[in-house]
């Protein structure tokens, strides 16, 4: 090889081809041009895309916006320290909200939803491995979160989220509070409905309504009703209602929509359907209801009320699978259990698959889960036997006298209807045999719980000296409030 060719300085274009046909003798760029000119170009763009929008774009708080409580802000710090926003986005996009279908997310994020320094730094996120959490508030009860943080596989065997079992009690509580307040007023309304529903379930199980974990709104109502002698202190869940069905079971029945009370499984009982049902059960349900179907899944210790037991055939108080009709089980899987950790699977399973799971549940008493890897066959199927008192109750509460179309203009009534979808406008159910509950009382109860939480958030924000707070009227206004069922 020619040694000149080898030793030519490549940095110096010595010509021959290309745009620069002759070696450049002059200097193309000076250090000043590169450094100062480069910085000038940079700052010109900074002016356009950083300074200008920051200075001009300050949307006022939306109607749905609420400040966070101090506890939730501490939870937000835990959220940031542990990098939750890497897998969970902090805003919902237009394409996330599908009209006319089961929704995953209730609303599209609006500029006004991101207001107030209690939401800084941003947690918009760049990737979704898990769901968006900007509207997580009230989607699950607190006990679900506790089981989930301890090990997400407890409640969701498909989850690939890490365990947060190392959280201290404070961290866990703060974190859950932040989750429950994410999503503004709509979240607080869901949270109020979930909390009230949870407490009523507990009272129905015989727990003392004045104890610590019960929402103050519920305790307050109980003390009011005790004063007016409406609260039956000596009542029990096993006391019979006028139709003969125990009150405990009445409240359970009213947590299902009337239309589903006596619906039976439309699918033929085949090995295929049962096998598919079993597969889904093991994939999705075993965390709580247990690999044997006895309600002792790994999440069970976290739950009150406990998950349905599908191996028990004798119980008539409403707390097992044999008590519920096919339609009730379908409804429960489709929409979730108001006030329990039972999730809404309507977005995750097809209609057919839900019915297949229901069909499979009817084989558990015959040992379809007793042995690992066993084959489920149609002869294991046990058709649902309607308990006689239930027949009486159901026939005295026909669908056409049910709740019908609840006025959707009142979000609290809509929330009450979600907690007790079987309750008609004129019905009174004694929760746990003690607490007389009507739909309007339930709506008031949820409203009280909601308002308490809003008041707390407002007080905390004012005490913190939060800047840019909207008027107190806007914070407490419920004009634009909509109830979205937990999805």
Partner 1 sequence: MTSTALGADTRVVAPRTLAGLGEDVKEHADYAAKVWLYTAIFWLTFVDVVGLTMATELITPDFLGGIPWLLFSRIRPIHVNGVIFMWLSSMYFGAIFYILPRLTGLRSMWNEQLAWWMAWAWNVMCVAGVVTLALGFSQGREYAEFIWPIDVLLVAIWLVNVYNIVMTVLNRRVRPLYVTVWWFLASPMWLAADYIIGNVMWSPGNWLGNGQSVALVGNGVSGALANPLADAMLNWWSNHNLFGLWLTPMLVAITYYLVPRITGTPLYSQTLSLISFWGIAFFYTGVGHHHLLQAPIPGWLKTFATVNSILLLIPVFAFVSNIMLTMRGNWSKFITNLPLRFVLTGFIFYFLVNIQGSFMAIPAFNRMIHFTNFIVAHAHLALLGAFTILGMGLIDYVIPQIFHKPLYSRRLAEWQFWLVTIGFLIFFWSLTFASFLQGENWLIGIPEINVLPELRPHFIARAIGGSMILVSGFVQMYNIWRTVRSDTSHHIGEEMQPLLAAAQAPKGSSSQAAQQRAGGH
Residues 144-203 touching partner 1, rule: CB under 8 A, are: 151-153, 156, 158-166, 174
Burial class (CB in 10 A: 0-12, 13-18, 19+), 22: exposed
Binding residue (CB under 8 A) for partner 1 from 60, 98, 213, 271: 98
Instruction: Name residues contacting partner 1, limited to 108-127 (CB under 8 A).
Output: 109-111, 113-127
Binding residue (CB under 8 A) for partner 1 from 61, 64, 65, 85: 85
Does 86 interact with partner 1 (rule: CB under 8 A)? yes
Burial class (CB in 10 A: 0-12, 13-18, 19+), 368: buried
- Helices and strands in the chain: count of H runs, count of E runs: 18, 2
Does 259 interact with partner 1 (rule: CB under 8 A)? no
- Please name which of 139, 137, 132 lies closest in space to residue 92, comparing C-alpha atoms: 132
Q: How far is the CB of 184 from partner 1 (least distance, A)?
A: 13
Which CB, 56 or 372, lies closer to partner 1? 56
Instruction: Name residues contacting partner 1, limited to 458-487 (CB under 8 A).
Output: 464-467
CA dihedral for 250, 253, 258, 262, sign (positive or negative): negative
What is the rounded (10 degree) CA torsion for 361, 365, 366, 367? 90
Which CB, 25 or 473, lies closer to partner 1? 25
User: 249: which DSSP letter?
Assistant: H
Structure tokens at 79: 């959220």
Which CB, 127 or 208, lies closer to partner 1? 127
Asked if residue 45 lies in contact with residue 144, where contact means CB atoms within 8 angstroms, the answer is no
CB count within 10 Å of CB 271 equals 12
Q: How far is the CB of 88 from partner 1 (least distance, A)?
A: 9
Q: How far is the CB of 51 from partner 1 (least distance, A)?
A: 10
- Which residues, 6+ apart, have CB-to-CB distance to 224 below 8 Å? none
Instruction: Name residues contacting partner 1, limited to 340-399 (CB under 8 A).
Output: 347-348
> Cα 278 to the chain's mean position, in Å?
25
The span of 45-53, 222-230, 267-275, 387-395 binding partner 1 (CB under 8 A) equals 45-53
Phi, psi (5° rounding) for residue 140? -140, 150
Instruction: Name residues contacting partner 1, limited to 59-78 (CB under 8 A).
Output: 59, 70, 73-74, 77-78
Instruction: Name residues contacting partner 1, limited to 21-40 (CB under 8 A).
Output: 24, 26-31, 34-35, 37-39
Structure tokens at 303: 């739950």
Binding residue (CB under 8 A) for partner 1 from 48, 370, 374, 455: 48
Does 14 interact with partner 1 (rule: CB under 8 A)? yes
Number of chain positions touching partner 1 (CB under 8 A): 111
């Amino acid at each position: 090889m020619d040694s000149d060719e080898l030793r030519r300085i490549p940095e110096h274009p010595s010509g021959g081809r290309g745009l620069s046909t002759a070696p450049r003798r002059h200097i193309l760029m000076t250090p000043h041009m590169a450094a100062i000119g480069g910085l000038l170009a940079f700052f010109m763009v900074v002016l356009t895309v950083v300074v200008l929008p920051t200075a001009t774009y300050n949307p006022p708080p939306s109607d749905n916006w609420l400040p966070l409580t101090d506890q939730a802000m501490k939870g937000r710090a835990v959220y940031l320290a542990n990098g939750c926003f890497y897998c969970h986005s902090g805003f919902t996009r237009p394409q996330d909200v599908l009209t006319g279908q089961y929704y995953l997310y209730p609303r599209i994020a609006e500029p006004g939803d991101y207001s107030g320094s209690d939401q800084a730094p941003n947690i918009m996120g760049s990737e979704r491995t898990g769901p968006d959490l900007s509207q997580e508030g009230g989607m699950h009860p607190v006990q679900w979160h506790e089981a989930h943080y301890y090990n997400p596989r407890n409640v969701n065997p498909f989850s690939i989220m890490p365990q947060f079992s190392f959280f201290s009690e404070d961290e866990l509580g703060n974190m859950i509070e932040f989750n429950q307040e994410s999503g503004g007023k709509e979240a607080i309304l869901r949270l109020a409905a979930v909390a009230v529903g949870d407490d009523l379930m507990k009272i129905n199980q015989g727990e003392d309504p004045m104890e610590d974990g019960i929402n103050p709104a519920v305790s307050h109502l109980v003390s009011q009703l005790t004063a007016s002698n409406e609260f039956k202190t000596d009542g029990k869940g096993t006391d019979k209602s006028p139709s003969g069905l125990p009150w405990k079971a009445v409240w359970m029945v009213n947590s299902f929509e009337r239309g589903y009370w006596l619906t039976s499984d439309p699918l033929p009982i085949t090995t295929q359907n049962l096998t598919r049902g079993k597969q889904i059960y093991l994939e999705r349900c075993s965390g709580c209801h247990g690999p044997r179907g006895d309600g002792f899944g790994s999440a069970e210790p976290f739950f009150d009320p406990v998950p349905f037991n599908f191996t028990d055939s004798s119980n008539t108080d409403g707390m097992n699978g044999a008590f519920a009709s096919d339609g009730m089980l379908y409804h429960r899987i489709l929409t979730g259990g108001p006030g329990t950790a039972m999730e809404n699977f309507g977005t995750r399973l097809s209609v057919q698959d839900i019915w297949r799971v229901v069909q499979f549940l009817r084989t558990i008493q015959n040992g379809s889960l007793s042995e690992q890897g066993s084959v489920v066959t149609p002869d294991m199927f046990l058709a649902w036997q309607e308990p006689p008192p239930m027949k009486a109750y159901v026939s005295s509460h026909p669908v056409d006298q049910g709740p019908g179309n609840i006025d959707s203009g009142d979000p609290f009534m809509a929330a009450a209807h979600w907690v007790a979808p079987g309750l008609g406008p004129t019905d009174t159910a004694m929760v746990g045999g003690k607490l007389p509950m009507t739909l309007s009382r339930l709506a008031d109860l949820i409203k009280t719980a909601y308002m308490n939480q809003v008041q707390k958030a407002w007080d905390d924000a004012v005490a913190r000296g939060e800047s840019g707070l909207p008027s107190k009227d806007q914070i407490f206004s419920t004009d634009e409030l909509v109830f979205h069922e937990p999805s």
